[in-house]
Chains A and B, each alone.
Chain A
Amino acid sequence: MDWAALRVSLWLGAGTIAILLPLGVWFGRLLAVREFNGKLLVEALVTVPLVLPPTVLGFYLLVTFGARSPLGQVFQALIGHSLPFSFQGLLLASAIANVPFVVQPIQRGFEAIPSEVRDAAACCGLTPWQRFLRIELPLAWPGVLTASVLTFAHTLGEFGVVLMVGGNLPGQTRTLSVAIYDRMQAFDDRSAGVMAATLLAISVVTLMATTALSRRVNPHRA
């Protein structure tokens, strides 16, 4: 059992959620309540990581954030080393790969709120912030929860992007799913089996926790 890989996987999952959730709530709500020119294109772009092969995504991320690219150089100056083959680079790649998993459920969550309910909140004298915190966010909560779970689960299972952008550095960028592949290549079926079972267990527990939580917070429940 590769404990370092488990730690990298969990940190990556948590970090991705931490980065994406605030952005996802802001952007998902924007897509849900606003009509603007080019909305279709924006929605398509948000969905792209969902349909793109992970290796293709990884390739473009490498090109975009590689040491020779302008963006890569900016990051190099900021964090002292190049993004590819580092945990930060992996986190950034993971965040980008997970955009559709965060934005779409949150967008659906906000879309499910009838516009009259939003209007009624305004007519009750609630300021835009109060409306967001006391009415909209609690009602869109199931969507936010789904987004978090999907992102976490998807991050744990991500393989192609991790391998392309992160490589396979122990304790840095080697996640549990990469470690499983690694062990299988070395004919170490036992270790691979333990780690696979660990991932399975984490997934099941996550889903159970989600179901329990969503039952507790579902605003429409009886």
Chain B
Amino acid sequence: MRDPALSVRLRQSGPIPLDVEFSCHSGEVLAIFGPSGSGKTTILRSVAGLYRPSHASIRSGAETWTDTDAGTFIPPHRRAVGLVFQEYALFPHLTALGNVMAALGHRPRAERRSRADAMLNLVRLGDQAAKRPHALSGGERQRVALARALAREPAVLLLDEPFAAVDRSARRRLQNEIDSLRRTLDMPLVLVTHDFEDVVRLASHVLMLERGRAVAYGPISTLMSRPDLSWLREAVGLGSVFDATVTRVHADRGLVELTFGGGTLLAPARNVAMHAAVRVRIPAREVVLATSPPTGLSLHNVLAGSVMAVHIDTAFEAVVVQLAVGNIVMLAEVTRDAVSRLEIGVGQRLHVLIKSVSIELQAPGADRAERGRYLDTV
């Protein structure tokens, strides 16, 4: 087991209660997900050294940034951390270029200009370098903030609600941009969000936070296949999340065939390329279970699964059935009555029926030209 690039343990009872422990490796995206006021931003600020919880241990690779037991505290300007603030916090008196150059103090003076230009090109703002923040759009400001955070050549990249202040289309583009950056950057990425779509789109790992306490933590597919997270169920509904590859495109029918660890699925999608890696979410409420193979249905997707666990949630009058479909774990939410009628029990083999239209697809944008260029140009 290699050293995690970032490992964090925070504990304090007040004024902002915190009780979390997590680690994040290079190339991973940890989403800290929770309602506003749950302490998400405080966690990021603690990692950056802008906030000092009463008990904390924060390590980046071999470096100790905070250790309250040993009395170690490295001030923020000596931590190699890139932080993209929620409202971007650009320096209003400096141009886009000036903002990025401010984060290049660790580089020799002669290099700073060309590096700053390269960073702005990376976020496709090369032609806006001379503009001040107020002359830029929300999405552009966000990208300047991202370029500035990366210019520092951080050991960890922290994003605080990065899409909260931009409109929907800019949000999609930025998500794609961050997703493709992630693949080229050799650093862990911690993303704070209260929007579940961000989590499904970007996260490899999730930490769910409630009033400063981690209520669940783990790889996204494992976490999303847990039937017992009533908190998540209240917030967004349960649903399994897994990765798949596009193996066929039926352009005429507006459908794509997805191959995943449990077989194939047909899902409606447009503008998705052949062989594209996509992330799939299947809401538990949209999954129907059958004991015998159904016929005469409009349904495309019938998979074979076996029951792993039956979770009865008394608060909801509903039952969540956890199923193994190939090597993927899926969730189905059914009534208690259905469970007793079908006599659903652990180990039972069932047919899993999924409507195509209920499959949520998160496809990376077609805009992938920038991918892989970061390391070459910078």
Give A residues with C-beta under 8 Å from B: 114, 116-117, 119-128, 130-131, 134-135, 138-139, 219-220, 222
B89 at the interface (CB under 8 A from A): yes
The 4 lowest CB-CB distance pairs between A and B, nearest first, are A219-B93, A116-B89, A124-B103, A120-B89
Having A120-B90, A125-B152, one finds 12 other A-B pairs with CB under 8 Å, namely A114-B89, A117-B89, A119-B76, A119-B83, A120-B83, A121-B91, A122-B48, A122-B75, A124-B105, A125-B105, A219-B93, A220-B92
Alpha-carbon distance between A128 and B103 when the two chains are bound, in angstroms? 14
B242 at the interface (CB under 8 A from A): no
Alpha-carbon distance between A175 and B329 when the two chains are bound, in angstroms? 88
Q: Known interface pairs A134-B102, A138-B93, A219-B93. Does A124 touch B85 (Cβ–Cβ under 8 Å)?
A: no
Q: Chain B's nearest CB lies how many Å from the CB of A177?
A: 38
Q: A139 contacts B92, CB within 8 Å?
A: yes
Q: Known interface pairs A130-B105, A220-B134. Does A123 touch B76 (Cβ–Cβ under 8 Å)?
A: yes
- Which B residue's beta carbon lies closest to that of A219? B93
Q: Chain A's nearest CB lies how many Å from the CB of B162?
A: 14
Contact with A along B56-86 (1 / 0, CB 8 A): 0000000000000000000111110111011
Alpha-carbon distance between A222 and B135 when the two chains are bound, in angstroms? 8
Give B residues with C-beta under 8 Å from A: 45, 48-50, 75-79, 81-83, 85-87, 89-93, 102-103, 105-106, 134-135, 148-149, 152
The listed residue (B50, B82, B105) touching A119 by CB distance below 8 A is B50
Q: Chain A's nearest CB lies how many Å from the CB of B367?
A: 28
Q: What are 9 A-B contacts with C-beta separation under 8 Å?
A: A116-B86, A122-B75, A123-B76, A123-B77, A123-B83, A125-B77, A125-B78, A126-B102, A126-B105
Alpha-carbon distance between A125 and B86 when the two chains are bound, in angstroms? 19
Interface SS of chain B = loop
The listed residue (B91, B106, B135) touching A120 by CB distance below 8 A is B91
Alpha-carbon distance between A43 and B5 when the two chains are bound, in angstroms? 46
Q: Which residues of B contact A222 (CB under 8 A)?
A: 134-135
Alpha-carbon distance between A117 and B85 when the two chains are bound, in angstroms? 9
Q: Chain B's nearest CB lies how many Å from the CB of A115?
A: 9
Q: A120 contacts B85, CB within 8 Å?
A: yes
- Which B residue's beta carbon lies closest to that of A128? B77
Q: Chain A's nearest CB lies how many Å from the CB of B155?
A: 12
Q: Which residues of A contact B134 (CB under 8 A)?
A: 220, 222
Alpha-carbon distance between A126 and B93 when the two chains are bound, in angstroms? 16
Q: B93 contacts A123, CB within 8 Å?
A: no
Q: Which residues of B contact A119 (CB under 8 A)?
A: 45, 48, 50, 76, 83, 85, 89
Q: Which residues of A contact B48 (CB under 8 A)?
A: 119, 122-123
Q: A121 contacts B102, CB within 8 Å?
A: yes
Which residue among B50, B82, B90 has the maximum number of chain A CB atoms within 10 Å of its CB? B50
Q: Which residues of A contact B45 (CB under 8 A)?
A: 119
Q: Which residues of A contact B81 (CB under 8 A)?
A: 123
Q: Chain A's nearest CB lies how many Å from the CB of B14?
A: 17
